[in-house]
């Protein structure tokens, strides 16, 4: 968590101009002291957190200005108390580490200048020395004017983050000493997550006031909510709805022209069958009529599409792969393994992954993540082991295999998942221990607010929680609905 914060802070350096306040000026009074160490608005310990919280609040930063100011100073106090305590313990940041950070900052500055020279002035490595010198001078002037940085001020600001990072690393290492996570804690945590996921999904499909839903409707909607939040929001649910089956398939490619014709006819037939809205005829005033005008020629009406035409286009697709389908069926009858035939004939990239071939795509009759014909074909298979007749979809021709039933409820608690949960729990424990350590060190410190700093104290009763940010999911190339 802390390293992610530091990375964000470092990225902010070229977005936020250097602080304008001069330390010690009348406009920059001492706000609070921590064991005698003064903190002002211009203090680096405050500024790093003020920058970070402003970034987190985004467009709402003005609305949260007071809260940002108060929380940033609170974090600054915690940081100072921690740095002081680490120094007392002989755990201060060594000069070698600071020097390495300084060299890294100088290299970062050179990289920024080189990027500006290339992007603003088109001067790269192949330019002459004179061109480079002129472009560099212009670049340095541009950065100073627009961002307020010289090389030295940039390096010093970078060192601000280096020191912060180093102190937090040491504090967290102290906090994590002796922290372990037991197997029982992992299992209990897993059960809690499963219950929370199930509750979340069930809440999503509850009928609203005055609305009625059948159990079947709610079951269908729960599946659709599960797939929607998994696919489009990246939720990693540990609860799995009932009624899924594992489906593998052999996808045979078809000439695009054949697919296009079938899809075009099917779309037209669907459009024809949609109920038409009746439009009242326009009335024309007798005085506006032009009896001598030539009538406009009308276009020849399109031949209506019939179900037979759509079926014929579909049959043409099936005929184009008949020999291959017959060959596959013959091998299946001879005892060939369906998984081997996927590798031999299949063209779906998703089926090249071993996990998809051994577990299958999770398909439910109410699934929204797969092509409609694929989903319907999978639902039509009666028992595990069944293989479908060829099914046409927008992707080609599928031969489906009902591989297994997928149990509903908690997902399998694999060794890999256990270790993932163990790491999460350990991280939470370390963060809690780190927070407690900071609270302890602040409580042991003499924190004195000045009159000027009274408005910088956190008012817990008046302030809401910090704004949170959300993050996201990969899209499988199985046979997604388009």
Question: Which CATH number characterizes residue 353's domain?
Answer: 3.10.50.40
CB-neighbour burial class of residue 18 (10 A; exposed 0-12, middle 13-18, buried 19+):
middle
pLDDT at 402: 98
> d(Cα 167, Cα 205) in Å, to the nearest integer?
48
Q: How far from chain centre, in Å, is Cα 326? A: 44
Q: If we measure between CA atoms, which residue out of 196, 174, 258 comes closest to residue 437?
A: 174
Q: What is the pLDDT averaged over residues 287-293?
A: 55
Going by pLDDT thresholds of 50, 70 and 90, the confidence category of residue 203 is very high
> Over the range 292-328, which residues count as b (16 or more CB within 10 Å of their CB) and which as e?
eeeeeeeeeeeeebeeebbeebbebbbebbeebbeeb
150 and 259 together in one domain: no
171 and 27 together in one domain: yes
Examine the fold and report which residue of 141, 175, 209 is the final residue of a domain before the chain moves on: 175
Going by pLDDT thresholds of 50, 70 and 90, the confidence category of residue 273 is confident
Q: Is the pLDDT of residue 476 over 80?
A: no
Proportion of the chain above pLDDT 70, given as a percent: 85
Q: Is the pLDDT of residue 341 over 70?
A: yes
Q: If we measure between CA atoms, which residue out of 366, 361, 335 comes closest to residue 349?
A: 361
CB contact at 8 A, 391 and 397: yes
pLDDT at 5: 46
Examine the fold and report which residue of 388, 407, 426 is the final residue of a domain before the chain moves on: 407
Average pLDDT score, the chain: 87
DSSP-derived 3-state class of residue 243: coil
Q: What is the pLDDT averaged over residues 247-257?
A: 97
258 and 148 together in one domain: no
User: Residue 482 falls within a domain, yes or no?
Assistant: no
386 and 249 together in one domain: yes
31-83 pLDDT tens trace: 999 999 999 999 999 998 998 899 888 877 788 899 999 999 999 999 999 99
Q: If we measure between CA atoms, which residue out of 351, 350, 402, 423 comes closest to residue 246?
A: 402
86-123 pLDDT tens trace: 999 999 889 999 999 999 999 999 999 999 999 988 88
249 and 391 together in one domain: yes
CB contact at 8 A, 260 and 314: no
Q: What is the pLDDT averaged over residues 139-156?
A: 92
pLDDT at 205: 94
User: Residue 206 falls within a domain, yes or no?
Assistant: no
User: Residue 91 falls within a domain, yes or no?
Assistant: yes
DSSP-derived 3-state class of residue 334: coil
165 and 50 together in one domain: yes
Which of 17-31, 43-57, 185-199, 458-472 shows the lowest mean pLDDT across its residues?
A: 458-472
Q: How many domains does the chain divide into?
A: 2
Contacts of residue 111, Cβ cutoff 8 Å, sequence gap at least 6: none
Going by pLDDT thresholds of 50, 70 and 90, the confidence category of residue 294 is low
> d(Cα 29, Cα 251) in Å, to the nearest integer?
72
Residue that wins the pLDDT comparison between 5 and 427: 427
User: Residue 423 falls within a domain, yes or no?
Assistant: no
Going by pLDDT thresholds of 50, 70 and 90, the confidence category of residue 3 is very low
140 and 257 together in one domain: no
CB-neighbour burial class of residue 446 (10 A; exposed 0-12, middle 13-18, buried 19+):
exposed
Going by pLDDT thresholds of 50, 70 and 90, the confidence category of residue 25 is low
150 and 8 together in one domain: yes
Q: What is the pLDDT averaged over residues 238-253?
A: 97
Going by pLDDT thresholds of 50, 70 and 90, the confidence category of residue 26 is low
Number of Cβ atoms within 10 Å of the Cβ of 167: 21
User: Residue 413 falls within a domain, yes or no?
Assistant: no
426-452 pLDDT tens trace: 999 999 999 999 999 999 999 999 999
Q: Is the pLDDT of residue 410 over 70?
A: yes
Number of Cβ atoms within 10 Å of the Cβ of 134: 15
pLDDT at 249: 98
User: Residue 214 falls within a domain, yes or no?
Assistant: no
Examine the fold and report which residue of 175, 207, 230 is the final residue of a domain before the chain moves on: 175
Q: What is the pLDDT averaged over residues 202-222?
A: 93
252 and 170 together in one domain: no
121 and 35 together in one domain: yes
User: Residue 142 falls within a domain, yes or no?
Assistant: yes
pLDDT at 150: 94
User: Residue 134 falls within a domain, yes or no?
Assistant: yes
Q: What is the pLDDT averaged over residues 348-357?
A: 96
CB contact at 8 A, 242 and 248: no
248 and 154 together in one domain: no
Phi/psi region, residue 236 (left: phi>0; alpha: psi -120 to 50; beta: rest), is beta
19 and 124 together in one domain: yes
Which of 19-28, 375-384, 470-479 shows the lowest mean pLDDT across its residues?
A: 470-479
311-323 pLDDT tens trace: 999 999 999 999 9
pLDDT at 297: 62
pLDDT at 29: 95
DSSP 154-221: HHHHHHHHHHHHHHHHHHHHHHTTT----HHHHHHHHHHHHHHHHHHHHHHTPPPTT----HHHHHHH
Q: What domain range includes position 386?
A: 244-272+306-407
Going by pLDDT thresholds of 50, 70 and 90, the confidence category of residue 8 is very low
SS3 content of the chain, % helix, strand, coil (to 5): 55, 10, 35
Q: If we measure between CA atoms, which residue out of 107, 79, 54, 46 comes closest to residue 166?
A: 79
């Amino acid at each position: 968590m802390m390293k992610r914060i530091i990375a964000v802070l470092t990225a902010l350096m070229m977005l936020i101009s250097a602080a304008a306040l001069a330390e010690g000026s009348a406009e920059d009074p001492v706000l609070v002291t921590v064991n005698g160490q003064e903190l002002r608005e211009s203090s680096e310990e405050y500024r790093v957190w003020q920058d970070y919280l402003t970034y987190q609040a985004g467009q709402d930063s003005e609305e949260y200005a007071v809260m940002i100011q108060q929380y940033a100073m609170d974090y600054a106090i915690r940081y100072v108390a921690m740095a002081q305590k680490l120094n007392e313990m002989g755990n201060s940041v060594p000069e070698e580490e600071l020097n390495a950070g300084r060299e890294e900052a100088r290299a970062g500055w050179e990289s920024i200048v080189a990027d500006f020279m290339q992007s603003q002035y088109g001067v790269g490595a192949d330019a002459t020395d004179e061109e480079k010198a002129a472009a560099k001078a212009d670049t340095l002037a541009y950065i100073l004017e627009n961002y307020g940085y010289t090389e030295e001020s940039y390096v010093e600001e970078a060192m601000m983050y280096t020191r912060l990072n180093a102190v937090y690393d040491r504090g967290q290492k102290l906090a994590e000493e002796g922290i372990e996570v037991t197997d029982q804690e992992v299992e209990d945590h897993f059960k809690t997550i499963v219950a929370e996921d199930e509750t979340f999904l069930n809440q999503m499909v509850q009928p609203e006031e005055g609305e009625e839903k059948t159990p079947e409707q709610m079951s269908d909607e729960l599946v659709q909510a599960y797939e929607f939040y998994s696919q489009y929001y990246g939720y990693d649910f540990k609860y799995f709805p009932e009624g899924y089956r594992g489906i593998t398939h052999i996808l045979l490619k078809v000439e695009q022209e054949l697919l296009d014709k079938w899809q075009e006819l099917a779309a037209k037939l669907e459009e024809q069958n949609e109920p038409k809205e009746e439009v009242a005829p326009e009335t024309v005033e007798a005085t506006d009529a032009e009896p001598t005008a030539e009538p406009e020629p009308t276009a020849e009406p399109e031949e209506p599409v019939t179900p037979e035409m759509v079926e014929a286009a579909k049959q043409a697709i099936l005929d184009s792969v008949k020999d291959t389908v017959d060959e596959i069926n013959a091998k299946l009858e001879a005892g060939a393994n369906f998984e081997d035939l996927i590798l031999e004939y299949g063209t779906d990239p998703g089926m090249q992954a071993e996990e998809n071939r051994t577990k299958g795509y999770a398909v439910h009759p109410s699934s929204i993540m797969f092509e409609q014909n694929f989903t319907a074909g999978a639902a039509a298979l009666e028992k595990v082991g069944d293989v479908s007749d060829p099914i046409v979809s927008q992707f080609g021709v599928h031969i489906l295999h009902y591989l297994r039933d997928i149990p509903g409820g908690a997902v399998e608690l694999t060794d890999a998942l256990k270790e993932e949960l163990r790491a999460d729990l350990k991280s939470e424990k370390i963060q809690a221990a780190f927070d407690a350590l900071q609270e302890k060190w602040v409580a042991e410190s003499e924190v004195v607010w000045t009159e000027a700093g009274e408005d910088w104290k956190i008012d817990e009763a008046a302030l809401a929680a910090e704004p949170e940010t959300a993050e996201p999911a990969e899209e499988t190339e199985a046979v997604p609905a388009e």
